[in-house]
Amino acid sequence: MPAFRRLLLFIPLLVFLAACASSGVTETVQTEHYTVQLNLDGVGFGERQATVDVCDSAGKPVAAQQVVLAPVMRRMGMAAPETTAREIAPGRYQATGEFFSMTGDWDVDVRVSVGGAEEVASFKIRATQ
């Protein structure tokens, strides 16, 4: 088989493997006053990076006093340690932590505190190994 044809067969395999490796997730939830978007770089075990974007109803970034991620596996009565995100840009917050300790369905509750009031955006995440 000519090298060119082998290369043509190999490219789809690379694309497939790259898609499998990028196991990140992005979800958006609407609370009473905010649109909260959670972007996880992966849903497996180990240290992960989460980026949270918070906007008001006009789509403007929200300056929160605190953004906290609280992963909970309610079905098993488990919770991972809460992680406070730091602001990296207006309305954008980032946290690093080990959010999942076992495979299965988790709720990642993102608590947004602004002006003494708190709203919670709950994200449904399926953790893998």
6 belongs to a structural domain: no
Q: Is the pLDDT of residue 110 over 70?
A: yes
Domain annotation covers residue 86: yes
Q: Name the percent of the chain lying above pLDDT 90.
A: 72
- Write out the residue range of the structural domain in which residue 71 sits: 23-127
- Phi, psi (rounded to 5 degrees) for 76: -100, 0
Rg (CA), the chain: 18
Residue 98 within any structural domain of the chain: yes
- Give the domain CATH number at 108: 2.60.40.1930
Residue 119 lies in a domain: yes
Q: What is the pTM of this model?
A: 0.81
> How many domains in the chain?
1
Render pLDDT for 52-80 as a digit per residue (tens, 0 to 9). 999 999 999 999 999 999 999 988 888 99
In a domain, 16, yes or no: no
DSSP conformational letter for 8 = H
Distance separating alpha carbons of residues 86 and 9, to the nearest angstrom: 45
Eight-state DSSP code of residue 74: G
Integer Cα distance of 17 and 113 in angstroms:
40
b/e code 5-40 from CB counts within 10 Å (16+ = b)? eeeeeeeeeeeeeeeeeeeebeeebeeeebbbbbbb
Whether 121 is covered by a domain: the verdict is yes
pLDDT tens-place string over residues 78-105: 899 999 999 999 999 999 999 998 899 9
pLDDT of residue 10 exceeding 90, the answer is: no
The mean pLDDT value of the chain amounts to 87
In a domain, 74, yes or no: yes
Domain-embedded: residue 55: yes
